[in-house]
């Protein structure tokens, strides 16, 4: 992780120790067991994802949720068990309660 990569909810750069949480889900059964919803809406029609895998990463300092600072990136290498490289990427928007195409 690059220096000064995380901010708190007010946009202040975070210094000191943080807790990073990371988990990998490699298929629909893993996602179901984790309680994730795999339905998404496209032009008013609901579809079910076919997943080649997904990950969940978060950072906290104490009880504060942290975010990646503007202009910073965190690289993650994720190895899917599925062949191919023609995948779409989505992110779960907690506020909206839905998957958002990236």
Q: What is the pLDDT of residues 53-76, one digit of tens each?
A: 888 899 999 999 999 999 998 888
6 pLDDT more than 90: yes
CA nearest to 76, candidates 96, 99, 53, 93:
53
1, part of any domain = no
82, part of any domain = yes
Looking at residue 93, what is its pLDDT? Answer: 87
89, part of any domain = yes
91, part of any domain = yes
Looking at residue 60, what is its pLDDT? Answer: 95
Q: Which percentage of the chain shows pLDDT scores above 70? A: 100
95, part of any domain = yes
Q: What is the pLDDT of residues 33-50, one digit of tens each?
A: 888 888 888 888 888 888
Looking at residue 91, what is its pLDDT? Answer: 87
CA nearest to 79, candidates 25, 38, 42, 43:
25
18 pLDDT more than 90: yes
Residue numbers of the domain that contains 34: 6-101
Q: How many domains does the chain have?
A: 1
Full-model pTM? 0.71
Q: What is the pLDDT of residues 20-29, one digit of tens each?
A: 999 898 888 8
Q: Around Cβ 54, how many Cβ atoms within 10 Å? A: 22
Per DSSP, 62 falls in state T
């Amino acid at each position: 992780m690059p220096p000064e990569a995380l901010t708190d909810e007010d946009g202040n750069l975070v210094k000191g120790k943080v807790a990073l949480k990371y988990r990998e889900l490699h298929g629909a059964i893993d996602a179901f067991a984790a309680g994730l919803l795999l339905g998404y809406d496209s032009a008013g029609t609901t579809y079910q994802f076919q997943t080649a895998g997904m990950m969940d990463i978060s950072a906290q300092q104490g009880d504060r949720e942290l975010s990646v600072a503007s202009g910073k990136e965190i690289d993650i290498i994720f190895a899917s068990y599925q062949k191919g490289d023609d995948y779409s990427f989505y992110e779960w928007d907690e506020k909206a309660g839905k998957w958002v195409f990236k």
